[in-house]
Amino acid sequence: MTRLLHLNAFLMNTGHHEASWRLPESDPYAHVDLAHYVRLARTAERGTFDSLFLADGPQLWSNLAQRPAGALEPLTLLTALATATEHIGLIATASTSYNSPYNLARRFASLDIVSGGRAGWNIVTTAGAEAARNFGLDAEPAHAERYARAAEFLDVAFKLWDSWEDDAVVADKAAGVWGDDGKIHPPRHRGAYFSVAGALNVPRSPQGYPLLVQAGSSDDGKAFAARYAEAVFTAQQTLAGAQDFYADLKSRTAAAGRNPEHVKVLPGIVPVLGSTEAEARAAEQVLEDHIVHTHGVDRLENLLRLAPGTLELDAPLPGDLPPESAIEGAKSRYTLVVELARSERLTVRQLIARLGGGRGHLTVAGTPEQIADRIETWFTQGAADGFNIMPPVLPSGLEAFVEHVVPILRARGLLRTAYGPERTLRERYGLPRPANQYLTPAFA
Amino acid sequence: MTRLLHLNAFLMNTGHHEASWRLPESDPYAHVDLAHYVRLARTAERGTFDSLFLADGPQLWSNLAQRPAGALEPLTLLTALATATEHIGLIATASTSYNSPYNLARRFASLDIVSGGRAGWNIVTTAGAEAARNFGLDAEPAHAERYARAAEFLDVAFKLWDSWEDDAVVADKAAGVWGDDGKIHPPRHRGAYFSVAGALNVPRSPQGYPLLVQAGSSDDGKAFAARYAEAVFTAQQTLAGAQDFYADLKSRTAAAGRNPEHVKVLPGIVPVLGSTEAEARAAEQVLEDHIVHTHGVDRLENLLRLAPGTLELDAPLPGDLPPESAIEGAKSRYTLVVELARSERLTVRQLIARLGGGRGHLTVAGTPEQIADRIETWFTQGAADGFNIMPPVLPSGLEAFVEHVVPILRARGLLRTAYGPERTLRERYGLPRPANQYLTPAFA
């Protein structure tokens, strides 16, 4: 079978560029406008994308002056989008630190049923004290502890998703027997973080489990991905860096006893399109001109754990930043930003411009052919199984990608021209439906 | 303004009669069929109902042999139904004992935004050890403690829903200022059950708060309803009993300093329709003939906290049952069942038949006129502000009600003939949009 690109549309109010909301075309109320998201979802489906994706965290990010903040809860929004689309996968971010396995497993199973097998879960452990303080904690749990809890959370979720055998409903009207209680398997789980006794109150869903997605690139994050993830979102700036990440993750996955083809690596890409390269650069410059630099300094100081007022706009980063091991929050994002600034000798102002477009993800400004070339290169040179498409401005950036880049990728045989007969997101990823753990020989 | 009936459609897979799934017409897989629920929702909207309602509990109820078990998570299902309907309210049951205020407040705000102001929350404290054991507890929390937690949960939810002023987004593109941080009010809540520091990550929704619904009829339940509820579902068997409940709840609401018109009392009614009374009785008999009595005995023993094998099918209930005060679970349901059995001198077999149709709610078998008469009597005689319609068989029972009873209620001027200009569920209930607590004089 020909290897095809997996494309995911990373949706975010007016777009991934921090200044996108200021453009005349942008609706500053898009963050709560279902019609805006329906339009995006249908556009992605026209482009035969595999999936839509919503990032999330259970706290109000940044401050309101800077850019659109607050968002519809992802599973809610994706449920609404499920009814407006037919084929596309629906990947919601949800935290293992600030949810109960019983409730969250049920919500994903419900979305999977309602969407006919299109649910995906971007598993996050949620960095930051702000989130912790919304859930009864005074400080953020340590990085390693968050990952230990995440692993147990997954273990419980698997038990819950398997707690109904697929044929538990017998529906024998004549005998008055609706279901077979012998095909229900209560988890009876007692662990370090969770105790969950009973079976889930929703049947096993079309996919069995939602597609499992992960985006942490720290060492803990990669170990977790190797064990569980079926798709990985990652921020990579260079082909070589992306190749290293790709090879590392595939080999970790094999070492964890899994088929490395069962984890798809999707770097983020911010395509800034123009009909000529000059036009694309001009569009990029317009966005850059709308950046409010004081906001960028605030955010950078926050990310780097520096006191307010530390950074100077036209100087480089300070030389005495702490190592990644000292960071309990978003470790890999920290390192990516510091390395980007140092390797390209950027001033704070230049770094803000680089980050403003896609928060550390690869930005490519160019013609449709140039963007297709970059995608093809990474895809064929062992750096990517597909891409997380992060348009700088929405909806126009996604529409431009689907109208101008998608036909080129199709002409090159890299992307499907129509959805195939596969019905579920897992099938589209070439993944098997997970076997029920209670039906494996160890339990028989 | 003419007083009009508030009608709510209580949706439940194949219907409220426990044997409904065994009828030839019933789909035993309806519990996971979105199309089934879309059909019900649209039928209720044709009948100009105020709202749809889904009961729920975070555990797998009963055992599978007896009847359909498991259900789509209510907020997920109602979100999908929001996109399939235009006017009707969407009331989801969710537990204050087994959710975090931050997550749940956000989910209701998100449903309210996605539906254009149609969300309602049936607030439950969730009885039973089964649920507790799915959330890390060994036993069910005491009844009074569940209600204390519920009150604090509401307090936090109100703070979160008010944490954005309605005009917090200023969207000043020229100045590069998206929102006004002075209009964000972090709750900074520290209480006995919850600590929640930060503002919600979704703006204030069209209704401000979802419509608040309550269904507990214990003393704690009624005190809670008087303080918070805007609609109350209740199980009442007789006009006199319903009048007492109605008068008591209205006077408690006034005593709590609220306008008693701002709480609507909706008894449950199970309409068994026939074109003649004999036909209705025959339909009722068909359902009764499909009851599996051993199942009914199991459930009754469970409700009454009796050891298996205690009850005899053709004998009355034992005389030495404990008083309601000794019950930590569903107190008012316990008392209703015991009183029903004693006042009507029912055998266990007869009691099972009475409960099988609607779990203690009023069942009326008759012609459309007879059912309309009963509704009108209760509505005009101080027993109800409307009804929670619980068809014994779905979808046919709801379709029959809309086709045959609704026109009579409309002809009598008791029910709207079309939806009016109101846009939100609160407006349809004649309720004001809640003021933001941070804008009241005490905070100014």
Alpha-carbon span A390 to A398, nearest angstrom:
8
- Taking an 8 Å cut-off on Cβ atoms, the answer to whether A111 and B57 are in contact is no
Question: Is a pLDDT exceeding 80 seen at residue B331?
Answer: no
Q: Could you report the per-residue pLDDT of A85-96, keeping only the tens digit for each?
A: 999 999 999 999
Other beta carbons within 10 Å of B326: 10
Alpha-carbon span B1 to A428, nearest angstrom:
57
Could you tell me if B402 and B35 are in contact, meaning their C-beta atoms sit under 8 angstroms apart? no
- Taking an 8 Å cut-off on Cβ atoms, the answer to whether B21 and A60 are in contact is no
Alpha-carbon span A213 to A233, nearest angstrom:
8
Alpha-carbon span A166 to A185, nearest angstrom:
12
B147 annotated ligand-binding residue: yes
Question: Is a pLDDT exceeding 80 seen at residue B368?
Answer: yes
- Comparing CB atoms, the residue among B100, B113, B195 nearest residue A72 is B113
Alpha-carbon span B20 to B28, nearest angstrom:
9
Could you tell me if A91 and A48 are in contact, meaning their C-beta atoms sit under 8 angstroms apart? no
Could you tell me if A122 and A53 are in contact, meaning their C-beta atoms sit under 8 angstroms apart? yes
Question: Is a pLDDT exceeding 50 seen at residue B444?
Answer: no
- Taking an 8 Å cut-off on Cβ atoms, the answer to whether B64 and A168 are in contact is yes
Task: Mark B200-237 as b/e (b = at least 16 C-beta within 10 Å).
Answer: bbbbbbbbbbbbbbbbbbbebbbbbbbbbbbbbbbbbb
Alpha-carbon span A213 to A207, nearest angstrom:
14
Determine which of B26, B42, B72, B287 to mutate to test the interface with A (most A C-beta atoms within 10 Å): B72
Higher pLDDT, B271 or A333: B271
- Comparing CB atoms, the residue among B32, B110, B196 nearest residue A134 is B196
- Comparing CB atoms, the residue among A59, A201, A290 nearest residue B60 is A201
SS (H, E, C) chain B: CCCCCEEEEECCCCCCCCCHHHCCCCCCCHHHCHHHHHHHHHHHHHCCCCEEEECCCCCCCCCCCCCCCCCCCHHHHHHHHHCCCCCCEEEEEEECCCCCHHHHHHHHHHHHHHCCCCEEEEEECCCCHHHHCCCCCCCCCCHHHHHHHHHHHHHHHHHHHCCECCCCEEEECCCCEEECHHHECCCCEECCCCEECCCCCCCCECCECCEEEECCCCHHHHHHHHHHCCEEEECCCCHHHHHHHHHHHHHHHHHCCCCHHHCEEEEEEEEEECCCHHHHHHHHHHHHHCCCHHHHHHHHHHHCCCCCCCCCCCCCCCCCCCCHHHCCCCHHHHHHHHHHHHHCCCCHHHHHHHHHHHCCCEEEEECHHHHHHHHHHHHHCCCCCEEEECCCCCCHHHHHHHHHHHHHHHHCCCCCCCCCCCCCHHHHCCCCCCCCHHHCHHHC
- Taking an 8 Å cut-off on Cβ atoms, the answer to whether A70 and B164 are in contact is yes
- Taking an 8 Å cut-off on Cβ atoms, the answer to whether A110 and B198 are in contact is no
Question: Is a pLDDT exceeding 60 seen at residue A443?
Answer: no
A422 to A133, A419, B207: CA distances (angstroms): 43, 8, 41
CATH topology of domain A6-271+361-439: TIM Barrel (3.20.20)
| DSSP-derived pairing of the beta strands A386-389 and A264-273 | parallel
Determine which of A34, A81, A133, A201 to mutate to test the interface with B (most B C-beta atoms within 10 Å): A201
Tokens of B281: 């009785």
Please name the helix (run of DSSP H) or strand (run of DSSP E) that holds residue A267, with its range, or none: strand A264-273
Task: Mark A300-323 as b/e (b = at least 16 C-beta within 10 Å).
Answer: bbebbebeeeebeeeeebeeebee
- Phi, psi (deg, nearest 5) at residue A147: -70, -35
Q: Is B108 on the interface with A (CB under 8 A)?
A: no
Interface of A with B in 304-343 (CB under 8 A): none
- Taking an 8 Å cut-off on Cβ atoms, the answer to whether B134 and A179 are in contact is no
Beta bridge partners of B33: none
- Comparing CB atoms, the residue among B31, B134, B196 nearest residue A197 is B134
Question: Does the model's pTM come out above 0.90?
Answer: yes
pLDDT tier at A444, thresholds 50, 70, 90 = very low
Nearest chain A CA: its distance from B160 CA (Å): 10
Interface of A with B in 178-207 (CB under 8 A): 178-181, 183-184, 194-203
Alpha-carbon span A428 to A103, nearest angstrom:
27
pLDDT over 70, % of chain A: 98
- Taking an 8 Å cut-off on Cβ atoms, the answer to whether B171 and A28 are in contact is yes
Interface of A with B in 24-53 (CB under 8 A): 24, 26, 28-29, 31-32, 34
Three-class SS of residue A134?
A: coil
Q: Tell me which chain A residue has its CA closest to the CA of residue B24.
A: A173
- Taking an 8 Å cut-off on Cβ atoms, the answer to whether B76 and A180 are in contact is no
- Comparing CB atoms, the residue among B111, B183, B198 nearest residue A134 is B198
pLDDT for res B302 = 84
- Taking an 8 Å cut-off on Cβ atoms, the answer to whether B201 and A34 are in contact is no
A147 annotated ligand-binding residue: yes
Q: Which residue has the tokens 């099988």?
A: B356
B83 annotated ligand-binding residue: no
- What average pLDDT does range B314-321 have in this prediction? 90
ipTM: 0.95
pLDDT tier at A334, thresholds 50, 70, 90 = confident
Chain B residues whose beta carbon lies within 8 Å of the beta carbon of residue A356? none
- Comparing CB atoms, the residue among A58, A76, A138 nearest residue B111 is A76
Could you tell me if A437 and A443 are in contact, meaning their C-beta atoms sit under 8 angstroms apart? yes
- Taking an 8 Å cut-off on Cβ atoms, the answer to whether A184 and B110 are in contact is no
Interface of A with B in 335-394 (CB under 8 A): none
Domain ranges of chain A: 6-271+361-439
Q: Is A164 on the interface with B (CB under 8 A)?
A: yes
Nearest chain A CA: its distance from B41 CA (Å): 15
CA angle A39, A285, A301 (to 5 degrees): 90
Task: Give the mean pLDDT of chain B.
Answer: 94
Alpha-carbon span B164 to A115, nearest angstrom:
32
| DSSP-derived pairing of the beta strands A195-196 and A211-214 | unpaired
Q: Is A443 on the interface with B (CB under 8 A)?
A: no
Alpha-carbon span B76 to B93, nearest angstrom:
11
Question: Is a pLDDT exceeding 90 seen at residue A226?
Answer: yes
Beta bridge partners of B208: B205
Alpha-carbon span B306 to B327, nearest angstrom:
12
- Taking an 8 Å cut-off on Cβ atoms, the answer to whether B73 and A135 are in contact is no
- Taking an 8 Å cut-off on Cβ atoms, the answer to whether B79 and A80 are in contact is yes
Tokens of A393: 């401005």
Determine which of A67, A73, A137, A181 to mutate to test the interface with B (most B C-beta atoms within 10 Å): A73
Alpha-carbon span A269 to A261, nearest angstrom:
22
pLDDT for res B311 = 92
- Contacts (Cβ under 8 Å, ≥6 apart) of A19: A67, A287, A288, A290, A291, A292, A356, B176
Tokens of B60: 């797998």
Q: Could you report the per-residue pLDDT of B126-179, keeping only the tens digit for each?
A: 988 999 999 999 998 898 999 999 999 999 999 999 999 999 999 999 999 999
pLDDT tier at B358, thresholds 50, 70, 90 = confident
Nearest chain A CA: its distance from B286 CA (Å): 14
- Phi, psi (deg, nearest 5) at residue B420: -85, -165
Q: Burial-class residue A382 by CB neighbours within 10 Å (0-12, 13-18, 19+).
A: middle
Which amino acid is it at B415? L
pLDDT tier at A333, thresholds 50, 70, 90 = confident
pLDDT tier at B305, thresholds 50, 70, 90 = confident
- Comparing CB atoms, the residue among A75, A110, A171 nearest residue B77 is A110
- Taking an 8 Å cut-off on Cβ atoms, the answer to whether A114 and B72 are in contact is yes
Q: Is A135 on the interface with B (CB under 8 A)?
A: yes
Which amino acid is it at A174? A
- Taking an 8 Å cut-off on Cβ atoms, the answer to whether A110 and B201 are in contact is no
Nearest chain A CA: its distance from B407 CA (Å): 32
**Looking at the domain that runs over B6-270+362-443, which CATH code has it been given?**
3.20.20.30
Q: Which residue has the tokens 């941070």?
A: B438
pLDDT for res A302 = 83
A217 annotated ligand-binding residue: yes
Could you tell me if A192 and A207 are in contact, meaning their C-beta atoms sit under 8 angstroms apart? no
pLDDT for res A262 = 97
| DSSP-derived pairing of the beta strands A211-214 and A231-234 | parallel
CA dihedral B132, B137, B138, B141 (to 10 degrees): -60
Alpha-carbon span B396 to B307, nearest angstrom:
38
- Taking an 8 Å cut-off on Cβ atoms, the answer to whether B197 and A60 are in contact is no
Q: How many contacts (CB atoms, under 8 Å) link A and B?
A: 226
Q: Could you report the per-residue pLDDT of B22-77, keeping only the tens digit for each?
A: 999 999 999 999 999 999 999 999 999 999 999 999 999 768 998 999 999 999 99
Q: Could you report the per-residue pLDDT of A141-186, keeping only the tens digit for each?
A: 898 999 999 999 999 999 999 999 999 999 999 999 999 999 999 9
Question: Is a pLDDT exceeding 70 seen at residue A62?
Answer: no
